[in-house]
Structure 1
Amino acid sequence: MATKKPTKATPSWSDVKTKLADFDRAGLLGLVQDLYAASKDNKAFLHTRFGLGADPLEPYKDAIICWINPPDYRHPISVSKAKKAISDYKKALGQPEGLAELSVFYCEEVFDFLAGCGMDDAGFFDSLVRMFEQALKYVLALPKAQQTAFLARLDRVRLLGQNVGWGVGDDFDHFWSEAGLAADA
C-alpha cells in the first residue's frame, strides 16, 4: 500500500509564488483579468494601485457611506465593514493623504448619520473615538501645508462630538490637546 505524501494544511504566499513562476506573460495577464472580474474589491484594488479613474478614493468612500451612513436606514450599520474600506485602501496604495482623507471622511459620515437618527451603542462611539484619534495621527503626519484643511474638518467633528454623550467630546478634546492643538470651543 502506497502512502500519500502529507500536504500542507494551508497554502502560503510562497506556494502561490512558486506556481506563478510557471506562468508566461499571457497566462499572468489572464490570471489578473480573472481576479479583476471576480469581485468589485479586486477591481477597486487594481484601479487604486494603478491610479485609474478620476477619484481613486471613491469606492472606499462609497463603502464607508454604505456601512456608516446608508441612504436607506433599514440597511444595517457595520463599523467593521466601514473601517475595512480604509484598510483595503491602505493595502492597495496607502498614500498618507488618502488615509487622512478616508479617516476624516469616516468621522464626518458618522455625524451625518447621527444628524438623521440616534444611536445608543457604546461600541459604535468607542470606534468613532478610535477613528478620530487615527485620523488626527494621519493628518499630523502630513506636511504642514496639507494639514490645515484636514484639521479644520476634524475640528468641526470635534465640536460635533461635544453633543453626543458617551464621553465622546471629552475623548476628542483629550486627543486634540494631546496633539498640541488649541480647543477654541
Structure 2
Amino acid sequence: MAAKKTGPAWSDVKGKLVNFDREGLLDLVHDLYAANKDNQIFLHARFNLGGDVLKPYKAIISRWLWPDILKNQDYSVAKAKKAISDYKKAIGQAEGLAELMVHYCECVTGFSSNIGIEDESYLDALVRMFEQALKAIAALPETQRDPLWMRLDGVRRASHDNLGYGVSEDMDDLLAEYRVAG
C-alpha cells in the first residue's frame, strides 16, 4: 500500500524551481517580497539590509508580550516565539538570538510587573525562555556575555518583587547553574 500524500512539499517546489532562469527567480522573489511584511523582514535580515536587523523582530516580540491593553490587545507567547524562530531561519546569528531571547524576558517581566499578570503558562514560558537565553549567552564568546548576563540578572531581580509561581526561585537556580557553567 502506497503512502498517502498530504499535499505539496518543498521537494515539489524545488522540482519546479529547476526550470526557472535568473529573471524568473528574481520575479518570484520580488512577488514573495511584495506579498507580505514577514517576507520583507526575512529578506532584510538575510541580506543585512536596513541597519538594525533585530529591530523588526524586537517590535514583534514587544507587541505580543507587552500589548497595549488600552487598545484591547492580547498577549501571545507563541507569536513572540515565532519572531525568534523567524530570525533564526533568516540569519540565525548567535548574538542576535541571545539578544532577542533577553528582550523576550525583559518584555514579559516588564508587562507582568506593570499589569500583574497571573497566567501561569505565560510565566512558565518566561522561565523556559530565560533558560534558553542563558544557554545562548553561555555559547557566545566571553567578550559578548557580560552585558547580556547583566540584563538577565535584572530580569531575575525584577521577578523577585513582582512575579509569583516560583518564577524568581527558578531563575535564581538557572542563573547560578549557567553562570558557573559559562
For the aligned pair, the TM-score class normalised by the smaller chain equals over 0.9
Structure 1: give runs of 5+ residues left out of the alignment: 1-6
1:24 corresponds to 2:21: yes
Q: Name the structure, 1 or 2, with higher relative contact order (CA <8 Å, separation 6+).
A: 2
AA aligned to 1:14 is S
Question: Unaligned 5+ residue runs, structure 2?
Answer: none
Alignment match, 2:178: 179
Give SS of 1:11's match.
coil
Q: 1:179 is paired with a residue of what secondary structure?
A: helix
Task: Return the offset for 1:42.
Answer: 0.5
Q: Distance in 2 between matches of 1:89 and 1:77?
A: 20
Matched, 1:71 2:71: no
RMSD of aligned alpha carbons: 1.3
Displacement of 1:95:
0.2
Residues matched between the structures, number: 175
- Mapped partners of 1:89, 1:172: distance in 2: 25
SS in structure 1 of the partner of residue 159 of structure 2: helix
Identical pairs, percent = 55
Kindly report which structure 2 residues correspond to 1:11-160, keeping only aligned pairs within 5 A, or say none. Answer: 11-73=8-70, 74-160=72-158
Output the CA distance in 1 between the equivalents of 2:60 and 2:165. 26
Q: 1:66-95: CA deviations, max 9, x gaps?
A: 100123441011011011100110010100
CA distance in 2: counterparts of 1:52 and 1:89, whole angstroms: 14
1:91-120 per-residue CA deviation (whole Å, 9 max, x = no partner) reads 101000000000000111112212321111
Deviation at 1:135, TM superposition (A): 0.5
**What does the per-residue CA deviation read over 1:43-79, in whole Å, with 9 as the maximum and x for residues that have no partner?**
0000000000111001100100110012344101101
- How does the TM-score come out when normalised to structure 1? 0.91
Q: For each residue in 1:118-146, what CA deviation from the matched residue of structure 2 results, as whole angstroms up to 9, or x when unmatched?
A: 11111001000000000111111100000
Q: Where in structure 1 do 4 or more consecutive aligned residues deviate above 3 Å?
A: none
SS across alignment from 1:28: helix
Distance 1:14 1:77 in 2: 36
User: CA–CA distance in 2 between the matches of 1:180 and 1:9?
Assistant: 46
